[in-house]
Amino acid sequence: MGTVFPVGALLMPFRYVLIAGLICAAIIFIKRRRYQMRSDRAAGTRAPIRMVRCAFCGVHIANREAVRLPANPDQNRSERYYCSLDHAKQDQLHRD
Ligand SMILES: [Zn+2]
């Protein structure tokens, strides 16, 4: 039986470095996840939902879900909001 080269003994000094590295990696991973969760929450609160009224039936809808059309084709500054494309079309028909 020949002597087996003690690989474990050779790695002994590096064991703590390896463990420290693993702990550091874990801490960085957790911190990054926490930061991501926080920024997601911040993004959610940054854009508040504004309620607008449908110009045809008067129902209230969220600004981002509303169908937006210029009140007057000549001036794009003022807009009319609708709860659906159907109401937008009907309102345009009634006004013409
Ligand atoms: Zn409507």
Band the pLDDT of 4: cuts 50, 70, 90.
Answer: low
High-pLDDT (> 90) share of the chain, %? 46
* Residue range 59-83, pLDDT digits in tens: 999 999 999 988 766 655 678 999 9
Q: Separation of 53 CA from ligand 1 center, angstroms? A: 8
Q: Which two tokens stand for residue 73?
A: 């084709």
- How many whole angstroms from 70 Cα to the centroid of ligand 1? 16
Locate the domains of the chain by residue range. 1-47, 51-95
Across the strands, what pairs with 80? 69
- What are 32-62's pLDDT values in tens digits? 998 888 877 766 566 678 999 999 999 999 9
- Burial state string for 48-84 with b = 16 or more CB within 10 A and e = fewer than 16: eeeebebbbeeeebeeeebbebeeeeeeeeeebbbbb
- How close is the Cα of 71 to the center of ligand 1, in Å? 15
User: Architecture of domain 51-95 in CATH?
Assistant: Roll (2.30)
For residue 81, the CA-to-ligand 1 centroid distance in Å is 9
Q: Are 61 and 83 contacting, i.e. CB atoms less than 8 angstroms apart?
A: yes
Q: What is the mean pLDDT of the chain?
A: 83
